[in-house]
Amino acid sequence: MKVSRIAAAGALAGATVLVLSGPAFAHVSVSAEGTAAKGGYATVNFKVPNERDNASTTKLEVSFPTDHPLASVMPEPVPGWTAKVTTSKLATPVELHGEKISEAVSKVTWTANDGKGIPTGYFQKFPLSIGQLPEDTDELVFKALQTYSNKEVVRWIEVQEDGAEEPDNPAPVLALSAATESHHGGSSSTEETEAAASAEPAANTTTTAAEPADSSDTTARVMAVVGIVVGVAGVAFGVLAGRRRTTV
């Protein structure tokens, strides 16, 4: 009985820990496909899980940092959703990669077309192509608003402080890697990988094509030798036959 009670208490404690820690893992986040190199362009995904049992996510608003503005932001079409890119004038024009910029993208909003959106137990990715990325920071902090079908709005806007615990509603943060010579983020490495992949089958095809030729050449040589042997045997047989007739 004591063992059963201890096991039950342990299971209950474990379940409580999972319930309490669940929301920390189910917040809106952003990550790059490949790398997000300083000074280059990158494709990023905003991952939005549905945390409610009685409502679906029908809208996502992502605000862009004004201290590190981005001039180019292009959304990838997401079936069932409409994306809207909002640009705003900067309070003070900034110089970005040698050019003066007076306005930049301030917000991207995705809205579910049918009102259903992201159902319970699912998540959705919202891809964006962004650039050029700043060179004077190691990360970009975005602030997101997640709206549910019951009109509830969750504000993922709290900035993580150094040395502090993760806030309840952390803002999505995109980590930037060191600048590359091409300034195209992960695209250059992707192109090299694709080139290597396309070159490898070609090399295999060349090797495979050479094998039948070697086999045919060997066969021809064997047949030639066999023909010579047969010819010599035929001449020898003729000579012997002639000698027999002469002897008789």
Interval 25-40 mean pLDDT = 92
| CA neighbours closer than 13 Å in the CB half-sphere of residue 248 | 6
Q: Please report where in the chains the tokens 């490898």 appear, as a residue.
A: 200
Task: Kindly report the number of other CB atoms within 10 A of residue 88's CB atom.
Answer: 13
Question: 55 or 191: whose pLDDT is higher?
Answer: 55
Confidence of residue 101 (pLDDT cuts 50, 70, 90): confident
Q: Please report where in the chains the tokens 């090797």 appear, as a residue.
A: 207
Give percent of the chain above pLDDT 90. 51
Residue range 4-13, pLDDT digits in tens: 555 555 544 4
Of the candidates 32, 69, 66, 63, the residue with the CA atom closest to the CA atom of residue 47: 32
Return the amino acid letter for 9.
A
> Are the CB atoms for 53 and 44 separated by under 8 Å?
no
Q: Which residues of 190-220 are buried (b: 16+ CB within 10 A; e: fewer)?
A: eeeeeeeeeeeeeeeeeeeeeeeeeeeeeee
Cα–Cα distance between 44 and 36 in angstroms, integer? Answer: 8
Confidence of residue 26 (pLDDT cuts 50, 70, 90): confident
Residue range 139-182, pLDDT digits in tens: 999 999 999 999 999 999 999 888 889 899 999 999 999 987 65
* pLDDT over threshold 60, residue 234: no
* pLDDT over threshold 50, residue 195: no
> For position 12, what pLDDT does the model report?
47
Cα–Cα distance between 37 and 31 in angstroms, integer? Answer: 12
DSSP 132: P
Question: 238 or 126: whose pLDDT is higher?
Answer: 126
Backbone angles phi, psi at 132, to 5 degrees: -70, 145
Residue range 67-93, pLDDT digits in tens: 899 989 999 999 999 999 999 998 888
Q: Give the mean pLDDT of the chain.
A: 75
> For position 75, what pLDDT does the model report?
98
Cα–Cα distance between 235 and 241 in angstroms, integer? Answer: 10
DSSP 110-129: EEESSS--B-TT-EEEEEEE
Q: Please report where in the chains the tokens 């039948």 appear, as a residue.
A: 212
Cα–Cα distance between 233 and 245 in angstroms, integer? Answer: 19
pTM (2 d.p.): 0.64
> For position 4, what pLDDT does the model report?
54
Question: 240 or 41: whose pLDDT is higher?
Answer: 41
The CA–CA distances, whole Å, from 215 to 202, 212, 219 equal 21, 5, 6
> For position 161, what pLDDT does the model report?
87
> For position 130, what pLDDT does the model report?
97
Cα–Cα distance between 228 and 236 in angstroms, integer? Answer: 12
Cα–Cα distance between 150 and 166 in angstroms, integer? Answer: 27
